[in-house]
C-alpha cells in the first residue's frame, strides 16, 4: 500500500521539509527533482505548486497534500480538509491577502474602487470579495511583482503578506484584509474513505501537529531540595503538571516540565533564586496532546 502525498514546491518547500524532519520523516531531494525520497516505504512523494495542488488532489492524481487555504478557495476545489497546520515560510503567522494602494492614493476603502483596476494572483477570491461589497471593478491577473504596480499599472492590488515588509518597502498602504490563510492538510474525498489511507493520513497529521506544537516549547529539568519544592512549583508552568521524581538523596527531587520557549529567559533566573540547581534546557521534536 502506498499513500501518494504532495508537498508544496516553492517558498514553503524548505519549511515543509524541516517540519517533516521534526515529525520523524527524513526527506531527500535535489533542485531538479519533483519526486523526493523519504524513509517511509508507505509514502510516495511529489512536489506541486501550491496554486494548483488542490485541483490535483480533487481529481485523485494524488491522495493528499499540504497547501494554503487561499488556493483551495481560489480553485473552488471539493476536497476533504484533514487539519489546519500553523506554519509558514518565515513565521508562525498566517498569510494575509490584503487590499493595498499606493500611499499617495486617494482611495480609502473598498467602495472607492468602483470602476478601478485591481491586480492580483487571487482572481476568483478578489471577484467574490468585490461582489460581497457590491463594487464593480476590473480584476487583472498579475504574473508577479504585484507590489510595484500601483499607482501606474493598477489602482490597487490584492497581495499576500506575512510581515508587511514588502508592502512598506514599496510605499503601499493597506486598506482591508481580504483573506487570512493558513496551511491545510487536504485529502481526496475517496482516498480518505479508504480505511488504510485514512489511518495513515491521521497518524501523519498527528505527528506533524506534534512537531508544530514543539516549535514554540522547550523542556526543563532541574534538581530541587525538598525544602524549596513548593515555592519552585508555584512559579513553574507546565502542559499539565511537572513530573517530580525522587533522587537517591531523600532530601532532593528531580523536576521536569515543558514550557513555552519565550518565557524561559525570565523563569530560569527565578528558579535559580528559589533554590533550583542543575537546570537543563533542551529542545523538543514533538509534543502530542
The verdict on 103 and 151 lying in the same domain is yes
Residues 6+ apart with CB under 8 A from 121: 51, 141, 142, 146, 159, 160
Phi, psi for residue 86 in degrees, rounded to 5: -85, 80
Number of domains in the chain: 3
The verdict on 175 and 195 lying in the same domain is no
The verdict on 197 and 82 lying in the same domain is yes
Q: List the strands of the sheet with 277-283, edge to edge.
A: 243-246, 252-260, 217-225, 277-283
Cβ of 54: how many Cβ atoms within 10 Å? Answer: 26
Cell 498566517 locates to 94
The verdict on 8 and 87 lying in the same domain is yes
pLDDT score of 165: 86
The verdict on 272 and 133 lying in the same domain is no
Cβ proximity of 185 and 82 under 8 Å = yes
Cell 512536489 locates to 47
The verdict on 120 and 177 lying in the same domain is yes
Residue 52 has pLDDT above 90, yes or no: yes
- Residue numbers of the domain that contains 193: 3-91+183-214
d(CA 58, CA 61): 8
pLDDT score of 144: 86
The verdict on 85 and 187 lying in the same domain is yes
The verdict on 102 and 177 lying in the same domain is yes
pLDDT tens column, 230-251: 999 998 876 668 899 999 998 9
pLDDT tens column, 12-31: 899 999 999 999 999 998 77
Triad 21, 27, 29: Cα angle to 5°: 140
Residues 6+ apart with CB under 8 A from 240: none
pLDDT tens column, 134-151: 999 999 999 989 999 999
Q: Model pTM?
A: 0.86
Q: Is residue 151 part of a domain?
A: yes
Indicate the residue among 196, 214, 232 that finishes a domain: 214
pLDDT score of 239: 65
Q: Is residue 289 part of a domain?
A: no
Peptide bond before residue 277 is cis, with ω within 30 degrees of 0: no
The verdict on 222 and 238 lying in the same domain is yes
d(CA 8, CA 68): 9
Percent of the chain with pLDDT over 90: 83
CATH for 11: 3.40.190.10
CATH for 268: 3.30.70.120
Res. 196 pLDDT band, cuts 50 70 90: very high
The verdict on 14 and 73 lying in the same domain is yes
Residue 46 has pLDDT above 70, yes or no: yes
Q: Is residue 288 part of a domain?
A: no
Indicate the residue among 129, 156, 181 that finishes a domain: 181
Residue 94 has pLDDT above 90, yes or no: no
Mean pLDDT, the chain, integer: 93
Q: Is residue 9 part of a domain?
A: yes
Q: Label the pairing between strands 243-246 and 252-260.
A: antiparallel
pLDDT score of 93: 73
Q: Is residue 75 part of a domain?
A: yes
Indicate the residue among 192, 214, 236 that finishes a domain: 214
Residue 108 has pLDDT above 80, yes or no: yes
Residue 91 has pLDDT above 70, yes or no: no
Higher pLDDT, 94 or 69: 69
The verdict on 224 and 257 lying in the same domain is yes
pLDDT score of 241: 81
Res. 7 pLDDT band, cuts 50 70 90: very high
Q: What cell does 111 get?
A: 467602495
Amino acid at each position: 500500500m502506498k499513500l501518494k502525498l504532495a508537498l508544496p514546491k516553492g517558498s514553503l518547500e524548505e519549511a515543509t521539509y524541516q517540519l517533516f524532519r521534526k515529525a520523524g520523516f527524513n526527506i531527500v531531494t535535489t533542485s531538479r527533482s519533483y519526486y523526493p525520497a523519504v524513509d517511509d516505504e508507505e509514502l510516495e512523494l511529489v512536489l506541486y505548486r501550491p496554486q494548483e495542488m488542490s485541483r490535483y488532489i480533487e481529481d485523485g492524481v494524488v491522495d493528499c497534500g499540504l497547501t494554503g487555504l487561499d488556493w483551495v478557495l481560489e480553485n473552488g476545489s471539493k476536497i476533504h480538509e484533514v487539519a489546519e497546520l500553523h506554519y509558514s515560510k518565515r513565521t508562525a503567522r498566517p498569510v494575509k491577502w490584503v487590499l493595498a494602494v499606493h500611499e499617495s492614493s486617494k482611495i480609502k476603502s473598498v467602495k472607492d474602487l468602483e470602476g478601478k483596476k485591481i491586480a492580483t494572483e487571487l482572481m476568483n477570491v478578489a471577484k467574490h470579495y468585490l461582489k460581497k461589497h457590491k463594487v464593480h471593478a476590473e480584476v487583472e491577473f498579475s504574473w508577479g511583482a504585484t507590489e510595484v504596480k500601483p499607482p501606474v499599472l493598477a489602482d490597487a492590488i490584492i497581495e499576500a503578506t506575512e510581515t508587511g515588509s514588502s508592502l512598506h518597502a514599496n510605499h503601499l498602504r493597506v486598506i482591508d484584509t481580504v483573506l487570512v490563510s493558513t496551511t491545510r492538510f487536504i485529502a481526496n474525498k475517496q482516498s480518505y474513505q479508504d480505511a488504510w489511507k485514512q489511518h495513515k493520513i491521521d497518524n501523519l497529521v498527528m505527528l506533524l501537529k506534534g512537531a508544530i506544537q514543539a516549535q514554540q516549547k522547550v523542556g526543563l529539568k532541574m534538581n530541587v531540595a525538598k525544602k524549596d519544592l513548593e515555592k519552585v512549583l508555584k512559579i513553574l508552568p507546565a502542559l499539565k503538571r511537572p513530573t517530580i521524581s525522587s533522587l537517591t538523596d531523600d532530601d532532593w527531587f528531580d523536576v521536569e516540565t515543558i514550557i513555552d520557549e519565550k518565557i524561559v529567559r525570565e523563569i530560569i533566573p527565578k528558579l535559580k533564586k528559589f533554590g533550583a540547581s542543575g537546570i537543563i534546557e533542551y529542545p523538543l521534536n514533538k509534543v502530542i496532546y
